[in-house]
A = this chain, B = another copy of it.
């Protein structure tokens, strides 16, 4: 398959390239960057020296890129993918957008949280979280690849919501991410001495991943859900741990909770059920497409606490995109994604 990466110099774009270079059935035909057009990628990212030294292109002539490609992966800030989607709508090329433009069923929700008006509102699109939307991804023209916090959080709660085991009004998600999630542009808050040996929350009550989690969980239970989501920055490069809280519905036992996880995920290669009482750590999944889950029942408070760990750049971005690509191509879902996590 001929694939192109639009926006190859963001962290997600570069990670996508890392994975695609090892994919047996993908050939990268174009990689673009508007700020570094003409420079070899290995000048921007020296770790690619000898592996990908071709000059970066501009995406100006997106039609030509569309003609050359079976798939376009887009790694751009919100608001840009929709323009590309519109521009190549009549080409057979398929799109996997790592950003938010195509993630929402309801364009109004996107416009409300992202404060932009959508130029391609009626595009047929599918939410790109493979474990839950696999069927639709197979045939989709446009896949709105799920976000990082959202992937960790949705996968943690999906079984419980689907099986009606928790009080939907009681959900609190306290999530923690490495700093690569904030992107590569240098700003004071992400300046090394400011973040190092430091910990903080941000985006309380306002983070844009909130409605995305709500949408996916609502899909599972058929009821609109409103939940609490709080992101934090961990002084590390990669990894997300999501700590998810909910009150158990009446009469739900620990065994019932265990069964719910088994039932939804027992055949999912990328979901590793560490089990009840387990503590996933972000380093156990680093560099891999795994989502590790552990859960705990607090009998005192009647709450279930689910812990979910992913690599934000892999299962939370580029790896998930390749997983979606594999599904969309009819390939084995694991193709190019079998490297073991890098530890320590």
Contact = CB atoms under 8 A, between A and B. Distances in A.
29 contacts: A17-B340, A22-B340, A49-B272, A172-B174, A172-B245, A174-B174, A174-B243, A176-B199, A178-B199, A179-B192, A180-B193, A184-B191, A186-B186, A186-B190, A190-B192, A192-B196, A192-B237, A193-B237, A197-B238, A199-B241, A200-B281, A201-B307, A202-B279, A205-B305, A226-B300, A227-B301, A228-B301, A230-B245, A234-B235
Interface of A: 11, 14, 17-18, 21-22, 45-51, 170, 172, 174, 176, 178-180, 184-188, 190-202, 204-205, 226-228, 230, 232, 234-239, 241, 243, 245, 269, 272, 274, 279-288, 290, 292, 296-301, 303, 305, 307, 309, 338-344
B188 A184 contact: yes
Contact of A228 (B51, B230, B303): B303
Contacts of A340: 17-18, 21-22, 47-48, 51
B284 A287 contact: no
A343 B45 contact: yes
A290 B197 CA distance: 17
Contacts of A174: 172, 174, 230, 243, 245
A107 to B, nearest CB: 20
Contacts of A190: 186, 191-193
Nearest to A193: B344
B238 A344 contact: yes
